[in-house]
């Protein structure tokens, strides 16, 4: 079981980083390239284990990949070119791999089984299995293993209102909808990330957004081909959030993270940090491959960070950044509340419980509710030096490193191996900014 040892920040951090490729967009790039109509060059793909799990799954179904330096050439086989996998597909720790594949595999003429690690096997799959069955899929498993057999007939488009905003479920239904008779229409209660829609449109699929958070895929008149266009994966805001938050806590002199995806469904943590009084700005933003990309800069140290309320739409827009925002809240003045946050309980860990436990280890007062988390900030006073268990959750491990910068002595964070699922360069990047972090 790997661990980090971190020294408190001796002064402001400084330096320039390039964020690793966005994990969400990386999954979609590999998967859609694999069913595109010919070879697709993907640049900027992250090296994390989760994206590799998606690539491995597609390889098991006969898709070939050629690495050429920083580029990955995916030999797209077309919508109907996948082959039956010889064994169960292991999605590792990756919920996105499993849920997106549920949608894609529901429409294939072969059987497949999806499984994963102990954390993934505990996560809810009924939310995706149930609407896929309504589309005519033959799919079972409220938790993994999920078993999929060829459907009795063509899938049917669905008109579905998601009970909880979820990009993974929306994407699974859109992928199944590529193969279905009739339109697929999905309504959402909140602004979940829309990378699948953007990339499908970029590859020529008939996807449109309608008012009231409704996404429609209407294949009428479409030739059911995805164009073999090159895909560029921008930097991951959810990974960049750790360097940015570290610079907010320790000061930035300055810290710049280049090439970050600034899709408005992903920038909730920047809005939250600004509302707390942090000096975070965006520089040089422009459009690339259907996504907005730019640098995020932290210059100076906010004199007085203050607690805020994060709920509803803002919570959806920073759903993966709650652990690190909670670490920043711990050094702010006043209380911060994350509300409407029941979804956090079914992430890679129960993140209401694991974030609360992580902050308690640093001596922070927290209030844990069924669907909310309150953090009482220590108003700039140091946190207690801690020995923290990251519970195998990559984002808890990295958030704990950010909190440790504000501690009154060296800290240890245990069970950090899963940082490699999303951000294998994390420890190197922290050191490059001036953090004293050793690995054991
Ligand atoms: C993701 C969607 C989010 C997010 C996850 C990645 C995606 O989950 O938490 O880390 O790539 O679609 P939900 O769709 O379940 O909200």
Most ligand 1 atoms within 8 A of CB, residue of 95, 190, 241, 396 to mutate: 95
Angstrom distances, CA of residue 218 to CA of 175, 184, 207, 230, 421: 12, 6, 7, 24, 35
Tens of pLDDT along 215-246?
999 999 999 999 999 999 999 999 999 999 99
CA nearest neighbour of 372 among 330, 329, 343: 343
Mutate to test the pocket of ligand 1, among 168, 175, 197 (most ligand atoms within 8 A of CB): 168
Q: Classify 235 as helix, strand or coil.
A: strand
Q: Could you tell me which of 277, 268, 279 has the C-alpha nearest to residue 244?
A: 279
Q: What is the helix (H) or strand (E) element at residue 67, kind and residue range?
A: strand 64-68
Alpha carbons 314 and 268: distance in angstroms, whole number: 6
Between the CA of 173 and the centroid of ligand 1 the distance, in Å, is 14
Distance CA 104, CA 216 (A): 17
DSSP helix/strand/coil, 110 = coil
Catalytic amino acids? 320
Whether pLDDT at 187 is above 70: yes
- In this prediction, residues 48-55 reach a mean pLDDT of 98
List helix spans (H) across 178-236: 195-202
Is-contact 13 201, C-beta < 8 A? no
How far out from the chain centre does Cα 429 lie? 19
Which 8-state DSSP code applies to residue 244? H
CA–CA separation, 113 and 140 (whole Å): 10
Q: Residue 232: name the closest of 423, 45, 24 by CA.
A: 45
**3-6 vs 437-439, strand pairing mode:** antiparallel
As for ligand 1, residues whose beta carbon falls within 6 Å of it are 24, 27, 96, 166-168, 171, 192-193, 319-320
In this predicted structure, the answer to whether residue 358 has a pLDDT above a threshold of 80 is yes
Among 64-68, 366-370, 378-382, 423-427, name the one with the lowest average pLDDT: 378-382
Nearest of 296, 384, 410 to residue 4 by alpha carbon: 410
How far is residue 274's CA from residue 305's CA, in Å, rounded to a whole number? 9
| pLDDT tens, residue by residue, 9-24 | 999 999 999 999 999 9
Residue nearest to atom 16 of ligand 1 (CA): 166
What is the layout of strands, in order, in the sheet containing 138-140? 89-90, 112-115, 146-149, 138-140
Strand order from edge to edge, sheet including 373-376: 309-310, 335-338, 373-376, 365-368
Give the whole-angstrom CA distance, residue 408 versus residue 422. 29
302 has a pLDDT exceeding 70: no
pLDDT digits (tens, 9 = 90+) for 369-420: 999 999 999 987 999 999 999 999 999 999 999 999 999 999 999 999 999 9
* pTM more than 0.95: yes
- Closest residue by Cα to residue 159 from 136, 127, 186, 189: 186
Backbone φ and ψ for 60, nearest 5 degrees, come out as -60, -20
- Beta bridge partners, 389, equal 414
Distance 117 CA to ligand 1 centre (A): 17
Residue nearest ligand 1's atom 9 by CA = 320
Percentage of the chain exceeding pLDDT 70: 100
Q: What tokens does 216 get? A: 């429609």
pLDDT, one tens digit per residue, over 118-162 is 999 999 999 999 999 999 999 999 999 999 999 999 999 999 999
Position in ligand 1 atom list of the atom nearest CA 346: 15
């Amino acid at each position: 079981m790997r661990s980090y040892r971190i020294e408190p920040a001796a002064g402001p951090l400084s330096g320039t980083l390039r964020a690793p490729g966005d994990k969400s967009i990386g999954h979609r790039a590999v998967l859609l390239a694999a069913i595109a109509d010919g070879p697709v060059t993907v640049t900027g793909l992250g090296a994390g284990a989760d994206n590799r799990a998606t690539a491995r799954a597609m390889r098991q179904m006969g898709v070939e990949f050629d690495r050429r330096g920083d580029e990955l050439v995916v030999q797209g086989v077309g919508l109907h070119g996948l082959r039956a996998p010889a064994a169960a597909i292991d999605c590792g720790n990756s919920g996105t791999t499993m849920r997106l594949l549920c949608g894609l595999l529901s429409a294939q003429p072969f059987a497949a089984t999806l499984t994963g690690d102990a954390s993934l096997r505990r996560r809810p799959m009924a939310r995706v299995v149930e609407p896929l069955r309504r589309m005519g899929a033959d799919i079972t498993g409220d938790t993994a293993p999920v078993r999929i057999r060829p459907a009795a007939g063509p899938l049917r488009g669905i008109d579905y209102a998601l009970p909880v905003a979820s990009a993974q479920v929306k994407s699974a239904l859109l992928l199944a909808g590529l193969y279905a008779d009739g339109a697929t229409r999905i309504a959402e209660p909140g602004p979940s990330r829309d990378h699948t829609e953007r990339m499908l449109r970029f590859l020529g699929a008939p996807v449109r957004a309608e008012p009231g958070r409704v996404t429609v895929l209407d294949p009428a008149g479409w030739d059911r081909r995805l164009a073999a266009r090159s895909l560029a994966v921008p930097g991951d805001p959810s990974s960049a959030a750790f360097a940015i938050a570290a610079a907010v806590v320790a000061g930035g002199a300055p810290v710049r993270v280049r090439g970050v995806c600034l899709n408005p469904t992903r920038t909730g943590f920047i809005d939250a940090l600004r509302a707390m009084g942090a000096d975070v700005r965006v520089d040089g933003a422009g459009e690339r491959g259907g996504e907005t990309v730019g640098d995020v800069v932290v210059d100076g140290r906010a004199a007085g960070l203050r607690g805020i309320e994060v709920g509803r739409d803002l919570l959806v827009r920073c759903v993966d950044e709650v652990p690190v925002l909670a670490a920043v809240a711990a050094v702010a003045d006043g209380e911060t509340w994350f509300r409407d946050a029941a979804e956090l309980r079914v992430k890679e860990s129960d993140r209401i419980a694991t974030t609360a436990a992580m902050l308690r280890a640093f001596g922070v007062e927290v209030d844990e509710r069924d669907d909310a988390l309150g953090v009482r900030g220590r108003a700039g006073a140091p946190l207690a030096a801690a020995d923290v268990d990251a519970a195998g959750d990559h984002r808890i491990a990295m958030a704990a490193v950010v909190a440790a910068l504000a501690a009154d002595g060296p800290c240890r964070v245990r069970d950090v191996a899963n940082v490699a699922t999303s951000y294998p360069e994390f420890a190197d990047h922290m050191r490059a900014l001036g953090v004293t972090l050793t690995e054991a």
